[in-house]
């Protein structure tokens, strides 16, 4: 694959935010794995007083390795090389690939106010770090069966990125989260972007989804050439799927609903299904998500 500048081993920034963009904690779960495996350290951060409502995103008190309890404030930070990588669960495999030594991660909570200033501050920090490309990770609640591979939709507003990576241009119109604002401002600043959205089964919205984390990591590898060790994620994913199977076995209505989703998904995955049909399915997911923040609705069967 002929990668555009920024996705060919250049200085890449992977972005994930808690909240509306992070169903099943899949996006932040994937980003945090990269931070641990590479030992990334904070190189730039926003002042949380400027952007967050602490009655909505409350600070937490945590105990450090030294036993001292500290306040952790919601915020957002860019992390870059400089620390010690965390061992990969008894595996000798290391995170590797083109540009791995310059990989950066932006992690944070979605701000409550001043989105334009928040985004401008982070894009300025990315430019100062010589970032050449940005991958934005998101996850949405969708009519996706947990028993099938979870789909990841890749899109970009950048024509060169679409041509080189073979991704779509989203036609979605409606409410957006902070990821869309960052993508827009990054492109205006000359940094090419691609967005990856994993579909998380909406009927298990309360629990973290390791299967969606795996799906995002797989797509990230495909587009960047990175090799990302999975650690215990494969085991956790199978345990998650088995747990949902057990719930469905005790609820005939839920089991029937999942069977309907499986039938619909298999039809989309059939060889005769067109790329246009798959894209339309993704747009339907997005519009459904626009009804409210990810995680707000419990599972329910579709009304006939």
Residue pLDDT, tens place only, 10-48: 899 999 999 989 999 999 999 999 999 999 999 999 999
Q: What is the pLDDT of residues 211-237, one digit of tens each?
A: 999 999 999 999 999 999 988 999 999
Question: Is residue 90's pLDDT more than 70?
Answer: no
Contacts by 27-31 with C-beta closer than 8 Å and gap 24+?
27/137, 27/138, 27/139, 27/198, 27/216, 28/107, 29/208, 29/210, 29/212, 29/213, 30/137, 30/213, 30/216, 30/217, 30/220, 31/105, 31/106, 31/107, 31/137
**pLDDT recorded at residue 84:** 74
The alpha carbon of 45 is separated from its chain's Cα centroid by a whole number of angstroms, namely 20
**Cα dihedral sign for 171, 173, 175, 181?**
positive
> Could you tell me where the beta strands, DSSP code E, fall in 127-215?
133-142, 152-155, 193-201
Q: What is the pLDDT of residues 235-246, one digit of tens each?
A: 999 999 999 999
Structure tokens that stand for 268 in this block: 């989309």
Task: Give SS3 for 96.
Answer: strand
Name the average pLDDT for the chain: 87
Q: What is the pLDDT of residues 160-191, one digit of tens each?
A: 999 999 999 998 889 999 999 999 999 999 99
Q: What percentage of the chain exceeds 90 in pLDDT? A: 67
Task: Give SS3 for 289.
Answer: helix
**pLDDT recorded at residue 181:** 97
Contact status, residue 226 vs residue 220, Cβ threshold 8 Å? yes
Q: How confident is the model at residue 293 (pLDDT cuts 50, 70, 90)?
A: very low
Alpha helix segments (H runs only) across the chain: 26-38, 48-51, 115-128, 159-165, 178-188, 210-224, 233-249, 252-269, 275-289
pTM: 0.85
Question: Is residue 303's pLDDT more than 90?
Answer: no
**pLDDT recorded at residue 65:** 84
Identify the CATH number of the domain defined by range 12-289.
3.40.50.10900
Closest among 180, 184, 181, 156 to 168, alpha carbons compared? 156
**Count of residues for the chain?**
304
**Cα dihedral sign for 205, 211, 213, 219?**
negative
Structural domain boundaries of the chain? 12-289
**pLDDT recorded at residue 185:** 97
């Amino acid at each position: 694959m002929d990668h555009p500048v920024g996705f060919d081993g250049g200085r890449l920034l992977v972005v994930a935010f808690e909240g509306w963009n992070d169903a099943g904690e899949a996006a932040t779960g994937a980003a945090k794995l990269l931070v641990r495996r590479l030992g990334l350290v904070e190189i730039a951060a926003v002042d949380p007083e400027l952007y967050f409502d602490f009655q909505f995103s409350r600070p937490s008190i945590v105990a450090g390795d030294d036993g001292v309890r500290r306040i952790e404030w919601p915020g957002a930070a860019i992390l870059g090389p400089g620390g010690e990588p965390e061992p990969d669960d008894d595996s000798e495999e290391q995170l590797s690939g083109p540009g791995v030594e310059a990989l950066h991660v932006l992690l944070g909570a979605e701000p409550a106010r001043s989105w334009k200033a928040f985004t401008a501050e982070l894009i300025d920090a990315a430019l100062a770090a010589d970032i050449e490309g940005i991958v934005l990770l998101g996850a949405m609640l969708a009519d996706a069966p947990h028993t099938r591979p979870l789909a990841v939709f890749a899109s970009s507003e950048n024509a060169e990125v679409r041509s080189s990576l073979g991704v779509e241009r989203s036609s979605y119109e409606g409410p957006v989260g902070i990821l869309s604002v960052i993508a827009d401002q990054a492109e205006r600043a000359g940094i090419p972007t691609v967005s990856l959205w994993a579909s998380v089964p909406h009927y298990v919205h309360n629990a973290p989804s390791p299967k969606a984390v795996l799906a995002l990591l797989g797509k990230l590898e495909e587009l960047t050439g990175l090799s990302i060790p999975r650690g215990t994620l494969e085991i956790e994913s199978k345990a998650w799927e088995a747990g949902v199977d057990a719930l469905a076995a005790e609820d005939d209505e839920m089991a029937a609903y999942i069977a309907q989703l499986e039938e619909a998904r298999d039809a989309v995955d059939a060889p005769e299904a067109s790329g246009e049909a798959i894209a339309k399915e993704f747009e339907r997911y997005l519009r459904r998500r626009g009804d409210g923040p990810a995680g707000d609705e419990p599972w329910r069967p579709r009304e006939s």
